[in-house]
Every structure is written in C-alpha cells, then in structure tokens.
C-alpha cells in the first residue's frame, strides 16, 4: 500500500509494446510524465468532472 498525503494527483497511462527494449519503454514513460507535468495545473477534481467515471465505493474513480 501507499501511505502519504497526495496534493496533486496526476493520472498517467503508459502503453508498452511487445518486443520493445527497456530503454524504449523507459523513454516512453518519461515522455508521458513530462507531458503530464506540463498539464499539472488542471486539478484532479476537474478531470473527474469532465470524464464522469462510474462511481463505486470499492475503487477509486479513475484507477
């Protein structure tokens, strides 16, 4: 589990392709993180308002 206070949650999705090397996968993840950081001013709550995920007490809204 994770313990701590998260002030600005960034939802990240990294697609891995079969057969790609570790460096390529790591580079792809780096690009996703840098892009997310460039848009970190959008609050998580605002993302939820736009996406409107199905709510359940059994899991978090997007993950």
pLDDT digits (tens, 9 = 90+) for 27-55: 999 999 999 888 878 877 887 788 887 77
pLDDT at 1: 65
The predicted model scores a pTM of 0.54
On whether the CB atoms of residues 8 and 36 are closer than 8 A, the answer is no
Q: With H, G, I as helix, E, B as strand and everything else as coil, classify residue 26.
A: helix
Q: Given CA atoms 4, 26, 13, 59 in this order, what sign does their dihedral have? A: negative
Mean pLDDT, the chain, integer: 81
Residue 44 CA to chain centroid, in angstroms?
10
């Amino acid at each position: 589990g994770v313990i701590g206070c998260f002030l600005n949650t960034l939802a990240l999705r990294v697609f891995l392709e079969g057969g790609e090397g570790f460096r390529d996968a790591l580079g792809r993840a780096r690009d996703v993180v840098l892009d997310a950081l460039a848009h970190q001013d959008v609050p998580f709550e605002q993302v939820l308002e736009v996406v409107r995920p199905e709510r359940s007490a059994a899991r978090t809204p997007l993950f």
